Amino acid sequence: MKYFLQRLAFYLFTAWAAITLNFFIPRMIPGDPVQALVTKYQGQLSSKAIESLYVLFGLDKEAGIWDEYVSYWKQLLSGDLGLSFTFFPTPVSEIISESLPWTLLLVGITTVISFFLGTGLGVLAGWRRGSWTDGLLPVTTFLSSVPYFWLGIIAIYLLTGPDSFFPSSGGFDSGLVPAWDQYFVPSAIQHSLLPALTILISSVSGWILSMRNMMVTVSSEDYITVAHAKGLSDRRVALSYAARNALLPNVSGFALSLGFIVGGTLLVEIVFSYPGVGFALFQALGASDYPLMQGVFLIITISVLVANLLADIAYLLLDPRTRKEG
Amino acid sequence: MTQPVLEIRNLNVEYGLGEQAVRAVRDVNLTLHRGEVLGLAGESGSGKSTLAYGLTRLLAPPGVITGGQVVYHPEKGDPYDVLGLSDRELRSFRWAETAIVFQGAMNSLNPVHKISTQLTDVLRAHEPTMSEHSRNARAREMLKLVGISPDRMDAYPHQLSGGMRQRVMIGMALILQPQVVIMDEPTTALDVVMQRQILGQLIELRERLGFSVIFITHDLSLLVEFSNRIAIMYGGRIVEEAPAGSIYRDALHPYSKGLLGSFPALRGPRRELTGIPGSPPDLKGMPTGCSFHPRCPKAFDPCAGNIPVLGRPGTPDGSARTVACWLHPTEQPVG
Amino acid sequence: MTIPTSSIEQVIPGQGSMAQPETGRPAKAKRQRFRFVSNRKATTGLVILGVYVLLAIIGPWIAPYDPGARGGNLVQPPSADHWMGTTHLGQDVFSQLLVGTRSVMFVGFFAGIVATVLSVLIGVTAGYVGGKTDEGLSALSNVFLVIPALPLIIIITSTLENAEDWLIALVIGLTSWSWNARVLRAQTLSLRRRDFVEASRASGERTWRVIGFELLPNLTAVIASGFVGTVIFAVLSEITLAFIGVTSNTTWNWGTILFWAQGQQALAQSAWWWFVPAGLAIALLGTALSLINFGIDEFVSPRLRSAGKTRIKTTSGRTVRMRIGFTPVLSNSPEPHTRARPVPGVDPHGATPVVRKEVAP
């Protein structure tokens, strides 16, 4: 429990650091992005909306930095992330709450599948060293060096087309309205297959390699020899002794590398025009839509922190040494 | 004492293949008799642990057994060669007939499983018909036998002290009542008091349960105290084998004498500590002839040229001991 | 986006002993370094990397065309004139690739150096000094570790207008040092407890001497592997930034090529020559760097070395596989391997003793 609380405190601290970073970055932007917007939408912006944008960008010349920081937090806690320039005048929070489920489902599910699949293959490759599984290694090394988005491009080039089963872009058929019905759900699944496959192929190799190396390292531990000496079945030694221990560093590796993986997967959304936060970020970049960019960064960071916490809980359950005695 | 339980015949073990292979165990012949404690001593690198793990094919790659037999005499039935068993047969042979107490109790237990799991999975593998309840009862009984309170069944290895972990390992080794228990430096990680306590307990258990022990250590004084017979290894070969008392009183091989001189005796008259000059031989480039001759204080003509073979010396107690040394002419080779 | 595998375990508290690299004393290091070069994976990686470095230097001179110069042949497949075809403006893709190498390599190495210097400063200090300093620095690296680096880099560079390569490299370097710092801290902690470091501390050596002469030589492998890992990350990040159009598209790098290919519907026109070469160039560079890192990993923890010959023939002609738990038995004949004769009756007292030098005690 103590371990868990420590981790929780750490993640809260990190969230605070990320939000503070987010507060300072826009203050580096040269010029006055808000003024440009105000001029563009002359008369359409309420004075309250202008006010809120000024707080976000720190252009309120009269307020001190501390006051700005306090009002930034107030605004954030009330769920106000400002208005998006690109989808004017939709609030950023609305855009994010629409796109986040897409990303969570696509990236979340594929990352978890990739972790389990890669770990499983890594167990095989590490345990049966010198067998056919060694042939996997050069392939996985190459695949893990390919940028996610380029693999996406190749997938679109090779697998999509006018009469292909795979759609080349979007999250669902353009004629449909998002709803949990028999038309929309299959279409959404069909659209997510290729992006998911892309993420899977490029991220699975990392897990294979690290789990294989961990298995090789663990295999020469004394307790593995003991397990063999005890006359246990090969399966039991491989899974319950070797893999069970090799899994621990891989799970913490999972937590630590989430930040990297999520970064890569956002780009897959861009290539496939998939309606998640990565695509939203891309659209925001094109239009210098700073409020949306910041909102996306914030939500990605918080999602990664939550995922990290989940991985920590998994580690806690897997390693008895982190549990408190008694 | 006369009936053999395990006979090692010309066992050869190498690490690596072809030209770069290192011969770690060379033509070792050794017999373990029913109910005895056979001590195996030697400096590190002498091949004693390799020999012990080679017996049941537990050496990790690149270890290779290049020849020899390990003949096991079961309580009932005909003797058979352990090295000739199929993987499946070997699996059921392991632990049921020969169990091992490993060096360094710290890493011998799987850190992520409770000790109850690690005790009962042996039973599950070897006696699949046993009920869960009787497996647990048996595990609890073993803990009690080695002096650990059965309520520690649910403890994880990291919650136990080093001595307790080693006791768990001993309990685990005895759970299937094997004929042979191999102990590889079982107490080196422990303090002296704990060492003696655990060894004393083991000897007592041996008297009750009647298994034989191969006890491997570099600490000859422990062996003199706890074993019946002692075999001394050097450079992958056995250079002398004799009853513990004979080794202690009049070791014949200069190397045995040197080893004895490097440890303080816990009992008996005081002796001067001397130690052996030089360092153990490099297994890659063994000296010709007797591998000990470059360090031997008594080396003479034939030592550098020819390998002396283990045989019975012409001493009065010569029928009970063997030695491989040019200083001690032997009548007939053994093995 | 690979994870340096050997480093994970070293980071995990309680798993340390399992993965302690057998770091030799400085004197031994030279011979080991030589052995590293003889590692096949590392050599392959270094050779490929060498070719890239060479191209980064001479690329702009040997490029057949000006990468930005427009030509008459629009979106042409590879031909003798244009080895990798042309773009929508008739630009030569091969020249773009050659010229772009310099920017990619520059950003990769510059960011790698920035991140490595930072990680050594922060990681080694934290591990060596300990106490409150360690807690503070560790918390800092952990924060940077869990904040998703790529989105952060995107946000920061998007606020910079027309950032030069060195500025992009700086941003990448400043945000990607944390993993290495963490690994270095763990390594320093374990080295600090070794005898030779304790000894020089106890003998009153100055701190900077202990760190410079005792610690750093033994951290070389870890630092090198961290550097290589950061270069991979930096290269991918730079290309990503160019691909999504955050950075200026006036200097050429492989991401720029992909940006135009994506933006000008190369896919719809089936112009595979436009986007395949750049991606392969990235993948090959990444593979080379990964291979170097595998070499370092295997050098640091010998257990990972590939098993070598794993199938062997027994005397009876069967083939067995080397594996843990079942040592192969090549022959189980009870014949001795050495033909030793019984010791005949030699009188030891009458024989001449062997003359040899006294062995020093």
Higher pLDDT, B64 or C72: B64
How far, in Å, CA of C34 to CA of B171, rounded? 48
pLDDT above 90 for C109: yes
Contact across the interface for A14 and C147, Cβ inside 8 Å: yes
pLDDT of residue C343: 54
pLDDT above 90 for C77: no
pLDDT of residue C16: 32
Per-residue confidence band for A315, with pLDDT thresholds at 50, 70 and 90: confident
B213: which strand partners? B37, B181
- Residue of B59, B94, B112 to mutate for A, most A C-beta atoms under 10 A: B112
**Gap from B278 CA to chain C (nearest CA, Å):** 7
pLDDT of residue B137: 93
| Segments forming the whole domain that contains residue A110 | 98-274
**Gap from A225 CA to chain B (nearest CA, Å):** 7
A234-249: average pLDDT: 90
State pLDDT tens for residues A203-237: 888 888 888 888 888 888 889 999 999 999 988 99
Q: Where are the alpha helices (DSSP H) in chain A?
A: 2-24, 33-40, 47-57, 65-77, 92-127, 136-145, 148-159, 184-219, 222-229, 234-236, 244-271, 277-286, 290-318
Sheet holding B180-184, edge to edge: B98-101, B180-184, B212-217, B37-41, B229-234, B237-243, B322-323, B311-313, B330-333
- Could you tell me which of A251, A256, A244, A252 has the C-alpha nearest to residue A123? A244
Contact across the interface for B107 and A223, Cβ inside 8 Å: yes
pLDDT above 70 for C73: yes
Per-residue confidence band for A164, with pLDDT thresholds at 50, 70 and 90: confident
Neighbours of chain A (3+ CB pairs under 8 A): B, C
> What are the backbone angles phi and psi of residue C360, rounded to the nearest 5°?
-65, 140
Q: Is residue A108 situated within a structural domain?
A: yes
**Gap from C358 CA to chain B (nearest CA, Å):** 9
Range from A88-92, A275-279, B290-294, C334-338 carrying the lowest mean pLDDT: C334-338
Chain A residues with CB under 8 Å of a chain B CB are 220-223, 225-233, 236, 240-241, 244-245, 248, 318-321, 325
State pLDDT tens for residues A130-140: 666 677 777 88
pTM above 0.80, yes or no: yes
Q: How far is CA A167 from the centre of its chain?
A: 23
Range from A20-34, A204-218, A265-279, C189-203 carrying the lowest mean pLDDT: A20-34
Q: Does C355 touch chain B (CB under 8 A)?
A: no
Q: Is residue A106 situated within a structural domain?
A: yes
C56-68: average pLDDT: 83
State pLDDT tens for residues B117-138: 999 999 999 999 999 999 999 9
Q: Is residue A110 situated within a structural domain?
A: yes
Task: Residue C131: count other Cβ atoms within 10 Å of its Cβ.
Answer: 8
Higher pLDDT, A93 or C160: A93
Question: How many interchain CB pairs under 8 A, A with B?
Answer: 77
Q: Does C352 touch chain B (CB under 8 A)?
A: yes
B269-284: average pLDDT: 70
Counting residues of chain C whose pLDDT is more than 90, the rounded percentage is 10
Please tell me which of the candidates A150, A205, A206 has its beta carbon nearest to residue C258: A150
Contact across the interface for C328 and B331, Cβ inside 8 Å: no
Q: Is residue A37 situated within a structural domain?
A: no
Cβ-based burial of B65 (10 A; exposed 0-12, middle 13-18, buried ≥19): buried
Contact across the interface for A231 and B122, Cβ inside 8 Å: yes
B216-233: average pLDDT: 87
Contact across the interface for B26 and C338, Cβ inside 8 Å: yes
Question: How many interchain CB pairs under 8 A, B with C?
Answer: 119
Q: Which residues of A touch C16 (CB under 8 A)?
A: none
pLDDT of residue B180: 93
Tokens 């537990």 sit at which residue?
Answer: B58
- Could you tell me which of C52, C154, C146, C141 has the C-alpha nearest to residue C103? C52
Per-residue confidence band for B98, with pLDDT thresholds at 50, 70 and 90: very high
Put simply, the chain B residues between 195 and 224 with a CB less than 8 A from any chain C CB are: none
Here the CATH number for the domain that contains residue A149 is 1.10.3720.10
State pLDDT tens for residues B8-33: 999 999 888 777 788 889 889 999 99
Contact across the interface for C143 and A14, Cβ inside 8 Å: yes
**Six token digits for residue A31:** 């010029």
**Gap from C195 CA to chain B (nearest CA, Å):** 19
Per-residue confidence band for C306, with pLDDT thresholds at 50, 70 and 90: low
How far, in Å, CA of C246 to CA of A282, rounded? 9
Q: Is residue A303 situated within a structural domain?
A: no
Q: Does C332 touch chain A (CB under 8 A)?
A: no
State pLDDT tens for residues C318-343: 777 777 888 888 887 777 776 555 55
C149-176: average pLDDT: 85
Contact across the interface for C8 and A145, Cβ inside 8 Å: no
Counting residues of chain C whose pLDDT is more than 70, the rounded percentage is 79
Q: Does B94 touch chain A (CB under 8 A)?
A: yes
pLDDT of residue A289: 80
Helix C131-146 to helix A244-271 angle (10° resolution) is 50
**Gap from C276 CA to chain A (nearest CA, Å):** 8
Sequence-separated (6 or more) residues with CB below 8 Å from residue B73: B3, B4, B5, B6, B7, B79
Q: Is residue A9 situated within a structural domain?
A: no
Q: Is residue A230 situated within a structural domain?
A: yes
Contact across the interface for A144 and C244, Cβ inside 8 Å: no
Contact across the interface for A226 and B102, Cβ inside 8 Å: yes
pLDDT of residue B38: 93
Contact across the interface for C310 and B61, Cβ inside 8 Å: yes
Neighbours of chain B (3+ CB pairs under 8 A): A, C
Counting residues of chain B whose pLDDT is more than 70, the rounded percentage is 93
B274-278: average pLDDT: 73
Domains and CATH numbers, chain B: 1-97+180-187+211-335 (3.40.50.300)
A52-81: average pLDDT: 74
Range from A100-114, A231-245, B205-219, B283-297 carrying the lowest mean pLDDT: B283-297
| B31-C334-B21 Cα angle (round to 5) | 100
- Ranges of beta strands (E only) in chain B are 4-15, 22-33, 37-41, 63-72, 80-81, 98-101, 180-184, 212-217, 229-234, 237-243, 311-313, 322-323, 330-333
pLDDT of residue C308: 59
**Gap from C354 CA to chain A (nearest CA, Å):** 44
**Gap from A199 CA to chain C (nearest CA, Å):** 12
A2-30: average pLDDT: 82
Range from B18-22, B180-184, B203-207 carrying the lowest mean pLDDT: B18-22
pLDDT above 80 for B234: yes
pLDDT of residue A22: 82
Mean pLDDT of all residues in chain C?
77
* Number of domains within chain A: 1
pLDDT of residue B308: 84
Neighbours of chain C (3+ CB pairs under 8 A): A, B
Q: Is residue A197 situated within a structural domain?
A: yes
Please tell me which of the candidates B58, B90, B110 has its beta carbon nearest to residue A241: B110
**Chain C residue with the nearest C-alpha to that of A249:** C9
C101-107: average pLDDT: 91
pLDDT of residue B229: 92
pLDDT of residue C13: 33
- Residue of B55, B110, B151 to mutate for A, most A C-beta atoms under 10 A: B110
**Chain A residue with the nearest C-alpha to that of C268:** A157
Range from A101-110, B30-39, B323-332 carrying the lowest mean pLDDT: B323-332
